[in-house]
Amino acid sequence: MMYPYMTLADETEILHSQLLTDDNGEKRVVVHFERPTETGFDMARCSLPSYQWIKRDGFTEEEIHKFEMIVKSNAHLFFKYAENGGIQIA
């Protein structure tokens, strides 16, 4: 399951997965970036806590660098919200 996190000014949606557990018991979260285009979507996925980019399609290196800064500064929140089933807004 993916949960919405934030929408950037250029319409890039940031979503995150539920809390996942690897075979070795390590907890992880996948952060997904998606932006609509005329022919579909640009998308990128980053796995936490390794900060490894799983997929990248359509975003520039500069955009990926900005996304890395977002992921690193919000990693603790991605884990918190993933564990709680997304952001709980009253």
Query: Which percentage of the chain shows pLDDT scores above 90?
Result: 88
Q: Is residue 90's pLDDT more than 80? A: no
Angstrom distance (rounded) from CA 72 to CA 48: 9
Are the C-beta atoms of residues 17 and 30 closer than 8 Å to each other? yes
Lowest mean pLDDT: which of 28-32, 68-72, 83-87? 83-87
Query: What average pLDDT does this structure show over 15-36?
Result: 95
70 token code pair = 């977002």
* 48, two tokens: 């936490």
Beta bridge partner(s), residue 53:
46
Quote the pTM value. 0.91
7-11, 12-16, 84-88: segment of lowest average pLDDT: 84-88
- Domain ranges, ordered by start, for the chain: 2-83
